Amino acid sequence: MKILHTSDWHLGRSLYGRKRYDEFSAFLDWLGETIEAQGIDALLVAGDIFDTGTPGNRAQGLYYRFLCRVADSCCRHIVVIAGNHDSPSFLNAPRELLRALNVYVVGSITDEPGDEVIVLRNEQGDPQAIICAIPYLRDRDIRTVMPGETIEDKNSKLIEGLRAHYAAVCAIAESRQKELAENENIPNVPIIAMGHLFTAGGRTAAGDGVRELYVGSLAHVGREVFPASIDYLALGHLHVPQMVGGAEHFRYCGSPIPMGFGEALQKKRVVVVEWDRGVAAIEEITVPCFQPLRRIVGSLEDIVNGIGQLKEEQSTAWLEIEYTGAAGQGNLRELLEEALQNTSMEIRRIKNKRVSDRVINSLHQHETLDDLDVHQVFERCLDTFDVPPEERAAMIQSYDEIIKSLHEEDVNAE
């Protein structure tokens, strides 16, 4: 039995307004080729398939075309669970239809924990693995709110709710394992659990978009929450590939493409696990970089030199520039665009630390940016840079038009 563990595709995600469908398509093509080259029997996708609960047509098209391709390959089974970015009802809607392709989708928990236990069989009908397909567990799924609860009470209930649900599902898997040994004379069928959560000590990267799952909570679960019967734990949510509590068979595979510039230099991976006579061999496979990202920080001279070096390398990177020089540099973007002429590189974001500091420092006492709406922030910017009154009307009108266009954008018309 050979499985491939992946997660956190975030199909449909943009990077500062730049659509990334070419990257997603290239990854899924590579993943399909890898499944065939490796002779994968089952694909496990541990949540956050989409970046939002209402993915656009192009993101949906990539997902369904990929499922059809893999279902027609050597891979006999695909198991998909929902993550915190996914809409459970959206994932579940075509569930019965996808079963015809041996695609199992678990978008949310049900009243019966056995619904999350799936026995995978080979062409001869022999059981190969028992999957505990546990989706992202929302607060309301695992905790009952009581009057007068403290933060400690809430955290304790959340962790106990997670523990109880994994215990219930894995207990059913253990019972199935015993039945298979007794009735079909196939002992030690591996139990593979899936989940989408934040474990204690988990590593993240700046700007990766990983959200705290439970508001105001410290409920990062420890390794001890997961039953000892689990032979492999395929987790999603954290974008950095890593083990849980030092356990080699409890893993996050991480996101397959960098979700932000904080992940720009990470090696992205998928995990392949093969069982031979009850022994698991775990291998990480590096995912190619389909669109390089680079961050350049420093003075104008530092930034220009950094761009020059990338030009010599004939880089096609998308850039995040952070200017930290002392001079104002009001024409920073124009200078940088000039430096990028005749290259394939793009600037996706410019951070002018001097400007942002001045704007933030102009906030009134006891104010934070959260206290201001988008129009007030723009007015503070105008005040900070002493824009003359006669120039403000046109600038405010243009700004309002931009805000209006953003609000009226049809996010599903892609």
Q: pLDDT tens digits, residue range 174-205? A: 999 999 999 999 999 999 999 999 887 777 76
CATH for 2-286 (3.40.630.30, 3.40.50.300, 3.40.140.10, 3.60.21.10): 3.60.21.10
pLDDT at 412: 44
The C-alpha atoms of residue 23 and residue 14 are separated, in whole angstroms, by 11
CA torsion through residues 79, 85, 91, 92, sign: positive
pLDDT at 411: 47
pLDDT at 143: 75
The C-alpha atoms of residue 380 and residue 360 are separated, in whole angstroms, by 9
Place of tokens 């090696």: 267
The C-alpha atoms of residue 124 and residue 128 are separated, in whole angstroms, by 11
pLDDT at 333: 84
Query: What count of other Cβ atoms lies within 10 Å of the Cβ of residue 205?
Result: 21
pLDDT at 216: 39
Q: How many helices (H) and strands (E) does the chain have?
A: 11, 17
The C-alpha atoms of residue 367 and residue 67 are separated, in whole angstroms, by 50
Of 236, 252, 255, give the one whose Cα is nearest residue 244.
Answer: 252
The C-alpha atoms of residue 120 and residue 122 are separated, in whole angstroms, by 7
pLDDT at 239: 93
The C-alpha atoms of residue 278 and residue 188 are separated, in whole angstroms, by 7
Q: How is residue 309 written in tokens?
A: 């070096």
Contacts of 119 by beta carbon, 8 Å cutoff, 6+ apart: 127, 129, 130, 131, 176, 180, 189
The C-alpha atoms of residue 358 and residue 113 are separated, in whole angstroms, by 55
Average pLDDT, rounded, for the chain:
87
For the chain, domain boundaries: 2-286, 292-361, 362-414
Place of tokens 């018309």: 413
pLDDT at 409: 61
> Which stretches of the chain drop beneath a pLDDT of 50?
214-218, 411-412
pLDDT at 363: 54
The C-alpha atoms of residue 102 and residue 104 are separated, in whole angstroms, by 6
- What CATH architecture applies to the domain 292-361? 2-Layer Sandwich (3.30)
